Amino acid sequence: MDFAGRTVILAAGDFPTAEAPLRALREARRLVCCDGNAAKAAEAVGFEPMVIVGDCDSLDDETRRRFADKIVEVAEQDDNDLAKAFRYAISQGWRDVVILGATGRREDHTLGNIAHLADFAAEAESLAMVSDYGIFLPVRAPGGKFQVGSGAQISIFGFDPTIPVTATGVKYPVRDLLLPYWWTATLNEAVADVVSVSITRGVVLLYAAFDNAQCIMHNAQCTMKR
């Protein structure tokens, strides 16, 4: 995955251990941590946060002292720490965002973080959420082409049940399909190197599993090299 020069936002879910997300940390231009736990986890393995953004309710006194000049405290409770960190990044003009550590641990945090991608998509020029197991990419209307490699396991998630979705290059047909439930277009498989996703409006999410593959993303394209 082409991470060079990107902004990495590290949430406080499972800290990454796979090569793709760890490479994102190594090659990032800047590291934004969602809270003190994320900052300490990054520091423990040699990654220094540029800034810590959130409500800071998890910061102990020692962490506050050590990162005193890097803390941006956002007290409002309408958004979670990931949304606060993302909006801070956008306010700084950092629109090339890779999100790590957003899954694992509490399931409600995981679902909330994934759903936020649909909101974030309108403000970022390049956006991905990467875990140890795969990558989420927002697909904005009218859609896009994604080079995932034949055999890749993919799913599509929608948040507006009135938006029809069409996908080509997949094993199970997706033609003007409405997505009333999150599971409606999951567990599909690419039968061509390139999968196309088309929508008339709004945003859907494309998930591609790594399956022991290395993922390379450039300009919203994801290529898996086996």
Residue boundaries of the structural domains of the chain: 7-132, 138-225
If the chain, 226 residues long, is cut into consecutive pieces of 10 residues, what is the mean pLDDT of each piece? 81 91 91 84 86 75 77 75 93 95 92 94 94 95 93 95 97 97 96 96 95 44 37
The pLDDT assigned to 64 comes to 76
The pLDDT assigned to 58 comes to 66
What number does CATH give the domain 138-225? 3.40.50.10240
What number does CATH give the domain 7-132? 3.40.50.10240
Name 94's Cβ contacts closer than 8 Å, sequence gap at least 6: 7, 30, 32
Closest CA to 33 of 131, 126, 99: 99
The 3-state secondary structure of the chain, one letter per residue? CCCCCCEEEECCCCCCCCHHHHHHHHHCCEEEECCHHHHHHHHHCCCCCCEEEECCCCCCHHHHHHCHHHEEECCCCCCCHHHHHHHHHHHCCCCEEEEECCCCCCHHHHHHHHHHHHHHCCCCCEEEEECCCEEEEEEECCEEEEECCCCCEEEEEECCCCCCEEEECECCCEEEECCCCCCCEEEEEECCCEEEEEECCCEEEEEEECCCCEEEEECCEEEEEC
Distance separating alpha carbons of residues 178 and 72, to the nearest angstrom: 41
The pLDDT assigned to 63 comes to 75
The residue written with tokens 């593959």 in the block is: 213
Distance separating alpha carbons of residues 226 and 224, to the nearest angstrom: 6
The pLDDT assigned to 215 comes to 46
